[in-house]
Structure 1
């Protein structure tokens, strides 16, 4: 048995937002659609029932991620403190991985609210193992809006690298 701590990453993609081509808002300010405002609390309820409790949340500064976080957090029994992180907006997998690598050692579980394609790419890259059906579900679903991926690994945040994590769960309101 390893003395290294088990850490968890909960990736929550923002809920459905106004399409870029049909909105008067700049991309960073696109709000959630009515469907998105229904799906985000559903993700919160799933996390409250099935997901690990997070110590901390990192949330992209976009309007759709902030709104997703507010609606999701309202469903959690004791939501974690949140930091609004501008580097998560439009971040690729490598940029999100670098942010995770900077987390303090006293963080066991982090919930990150952000965007595709970075989340899809990061989850796929990190998931070196895990139940085959969960890995296939994520691969085929493509990390849907309001989707949640839960990954775990042992070691420090600085040790996190592609292939080191286990994909424990993937859920979306649309599955």
Structure 2
């Protein structure tokens, strides 16, 4: 089983009177999302789980433009600013038929989940930084997603975007 955690790309600042859920990407974020799409075009998952926030949906919409085949994508309100335990519970409910899933969400939940999973990987210390548009890929052997967090994982990579 393979899991890719992707933090949304850079959004416009949180401002008084603007609903956080509705914040779109800024120009740097749109460029970063496009770059993620180019870099991952050959790594098509079986399923994408995405928060319903504007910045996560826009990240997915932009990056997926570089892909030839589109996987099914579920936009889920419960993923918006979800805590790591809630994210883990959602992943554990996936069918064992789903071999590779992308989870597009927010910090601190994604960063905390990456750190929790890194604890079960040999030679991996804490994930020190998980900036916007960062992605982490792990894999694990098991009978199903319900074992995630209970069995050792292999850390494949951690990619962070280049700054302008």
Q: Same fold (TM over 0.5)?
A: yes
**Contact kept? 2:52, 2:79, Cα under 8 Å:** yes
1:150 matched to which residue of 2?
A: 137
2:160 matched to which residue of 1?
A: 172
Deviation at 1:99, TM superposition (A): 0.3
**SS state of the match for residue 77, structure 1?**
coil
Report matched runs for 1:55-134 at 5 Å: 55-127=46-118, 128-129=120-121, 132=123
**Contact kept? 2:50, 2:73, Cα under 8 Å:** yes
TM-score by length of structure 2 reads 0.91
**SS state of the match for residue 44, structure 2?**
coil
TM-score by length of structure 1 reads 0.85
From 19, 43, 66, give the equivalent of 1:26.
19
Change (3 A) 1:63 1:56: same
Deviation at 1:163, TM superposition (A): 6.3
Which has more helix, going by share of residues? 1
Unaligned regions of 5+ residues in structure 2, if any?
none
CA root-mean-square deviation: 1.8
Aligned pair count?
A: 161
**Contact kept? 1:60, 1:66, Cα under 8 Å:** yes
From 139, 144, 147, give the equivalent of 1:159.
147
**Contact kept? 1:91, 1:115, Cα under 8 Å:** yes
Moved over 2 A (4+): 22-25
Unaligned regions of 5+ residues in structure 1, if any?
1-6
Partners of 1:32 and 1:63 in 2: CA distance? 8
Change (3 A) 1:23 1:75: farther
